[in-house]
Amino acid sequence: MTYGTIAGILLTDIINGKKNDWEKLFDPRRGNIFSTAKVFLKEMADGTVAFFKDRTHKGKPIELTKVAVNEGKVIDVEGEKFAAYRDENSKLHVHSAKCTHLGCTVKWNNDEKSWDCPCHGSRYTYDGKVINGPANKDLSSYKPVPESKTIEHDIIQDE
């Protein structure tokens, strides 16, 4: 509705030959199609690379005690990736690192304290709840038992 109102105001001003400050902002010729296409293609390429890299990269098992307070890490265990975050109360939150949209591996965003998907922009809270789509399901939740061992033998899926 907002843009309809703006369009009405702009069209009236254009027909009446009146100068409007918004005219330049909403002019369809305002951008260069080639620079826009370049950005679009770069984003598509980055997403595609992330999609396939996530499925081929293998990491080393990490002890859960190495996840510091207010830190998130993606941990690879025999080809399965886990997102581990330790909150300010030293409670460890462990989730599947696989985005529920198309399965890309989420990355820890230290500034926002969130898990972000590099493929399509889905975002999750540190405890796996969806913040932004296109994903509409939370990350699968796990609990580590006991914390002193490596993650590869100590993950139990929460019900």
Residue with tokens 């809270």: 125
The β-bridge partners of 95 are 83, 141
120 vs 159, more confident: 120
Q: Is the pLDDT of residue 22 over 50?
A: yes
- Average confidence score pLDDT of the chain: 76
Domains and CATH numbers, the chain: 2-56 (no CATH), 64-157 (2.102.10.10)
- Global pTM reads 0.55
Q: Tell me what the mean pLDDT of segment 109-129 comes to.
A: 87
Cα gap 102→104, rounded to integer Å: 6
